[in-house]
Structure 1
């Protein structure tokens, strides 16, 4: 399994049509490539965009210039052989160490799976050690 620590950004926005399209257009205008992007409604007319840029410094500069409210954090990108139980084995190991994951986004592609996992910032180093020992 390949493991990479990644920087993600959560951007607060309004929950209305076209917000993710406007965000994507701005990424294109600034030639910022994203490894991943998600958008969720959070209630009461609000939403958040979660982005994992390939170049976090360029991304941070752009969102500051845009005046967007954001939070920055760490997550991990896992790539492994897609087989029954592959992700379950990894998640079980994480659970055995008492690490609570906030989110997991996983997909299979042909013979590989790709997953992003998020935990409390206070557990990032502990999670890194668990994954490194895998």
Structure 2
């Protein structure tokens, strides 16, 4: 599943969450459904920074094109994380301090990865111009 399809599914899920259709269910099952969705978003909020951290460490030994693609994925994951935080905030009207710590950590990781990519790009450019 590519990023565009994942983003579309997330947006449709958020639209479905914000609609007020009950479909004949009881209040308890609606509450349980909301709790399951909150747990899903919280898992996303924990999994994104952890996976991104491992990928950034692993990309240390990879080539420049891989790092550029990884930076694109990290930027998308940051947007996905912010959307997930908004969804958790809308559903629970608060979020734990751990989620805020993970969000700040992920934002810093994306920024550091961008700086490392820029440094690698500059090294490649200078080595290529040094050959001429």
What's the TM-score bracket when you normalise by the shorter of the two chains? under 0.3
Greater relative CO, 1 or 2 (CA 8 Å, sep 6+): 2
Under a length normalisation based on structure 1, what TM-score does the superposition of the two structures give?
0.23
Structure number with bigger Rg:
2
Under a length normalisation based on structure 2, what TM-score does the superposition of the two structures give?
0.24
Q: Which one has the bigger strand percentage?
A: 1
Q: Which one has the bigger helix percentage?
A: 2
